[in-house]
Amino acid sequence: MLSATEAAHFPIDQGGEIAFVGRSNAGKSSAINALTYRRALARTSKTPGRTQQINFFRLDEQLRLVDLPGYGFAKVPARIRRHWERLIESYLQYRSSLLGLVILVDVRRSLSDLDRQLLDWCQEAAIPAHVLLTKADKLSRNAAHAVLHQVQAAISEDAVTGAALPIGTVQLFSATKKQGVDELRARLDQWFGRGIREKKSPS
Ligand code: GDP
C-alpha cells in the first residue's frame, strides 16, 4: 500500500491493522511471506537495520498488515536508533486502528530489553501482544517447547507485583517448515474479527 518514514505519511487511521515488530534478522519478512503465501511481499534482507520505514499492506478495504522496522543492531548509529524509537512510538501510541502487535523473537535468544519494552507499551495501551518464537526448526522439539514455556511464564506475570496477568500469548513458528502458520492466522483472525465487531457495534 505504502511505506512511511514519518507519522504524517501513515494511511488514514480507520479500519483495523495488525503490526509485526522484532529485532532485525528475527525472521519478520519470512513470517509475513509465509503468512500471506507470497515469496517476497516483505523483502528478506540480510542488511541489518537498513529499512527505517513502516510498510503498510492492504488485505481489503478495512484491514491491513503493518511491517515495523527491525531493531537491535549495535552498528546502527544513535541518530538512526532515535529515529526508530520516535517512529515506533508515534505508531504504537497513537494508532487507533491497531488491533494487536506480533513481536518476533528468535527462539534461540531470550526476550531482549526492547522486546520487554514493547510488551510494556502494549500492556499500557491495552493492545494485545503475541510473541512469535521464530526459527523453531533450529532447535529440537523438546528444546523449543522448553523456551515456549519459559517465555509463557515470563510474559504472564507482572514484573512489579508478580501477579499472573494475561499480558500476551506466545507460540512457536518456523517459516522454513511452515510450522505454526495456522495458529498465527487464527490469532490474527480473532483480533481482526473482534476489532471490527467492536467498531461496528460500540455497545
Ligand atoms: P527480518 O530481518 O526479521 O525480516 O528476517 P528475515 O525474514 O530476513 O530472516 C533473517 C534470516 O533468517 C534469513 O537468513 C532467513 O532465511 C532466516 N530465517 C527466517 N525464518 C526462518 C525459519 O523459520 N527457519 C530458519 N532456519 N531460518 C529462517
Give whichever of 55-59, 84-88, 108-112, 170-174 has the largest mean pLDDT.
170-174
- Residue 56 alpha carbon to ligand 1 centre in Å: 20
Select the CATH number that applies to the domain covering 2-197 from these four: 3.40.50.800, 3.50.50.60, 3.10.180.10, 3.40.50.300.
Answer: 3.40.50.300
Res 86: pLDDT: 84
The residue type at 26: A
Mutate to test the pocket of ligand 1, among 28, 44, 47 (most ligand atoms within 8 A of CB): 44
| pTM listed for this prediction | 0.89
Using a pLDDT cut of 70, give the percent of the chain over it.
83
d(CA 89, CA 79): 15
Q: Is the pLDDT of residue 121 over 90?
A: no
pLDDT in tens, 148-203: 999 998 887 665 566 655 678 999 999 999 999 999 999 999 999 876 556 655 54
d(CA 132, CA 28): 9
The residue type at 49: G
d(CA 105, CA 172): 10
**What cell was used for 48?**
541489518
pLDDT in tens, 37-65: 876 666 655 455 455 789 999 999 999 99
Cα dihedral 35→21→129→174 (10° resolution): 40
Give the position, in ligand 1's atom list, of the atom nearest the Cα of 23.
3
Tell me what the mean pLDDT of segment 106-114 comes to: 90
Q: Would the CB of 28 count as within 6 Å of ligand 1? A: yes
Nearest C-alpha to atom 6 of ligand 1 is from which residue? 27
Q: Where along the chain do its domains lie?
A: 2-197
Res 19: pLDDT: 97
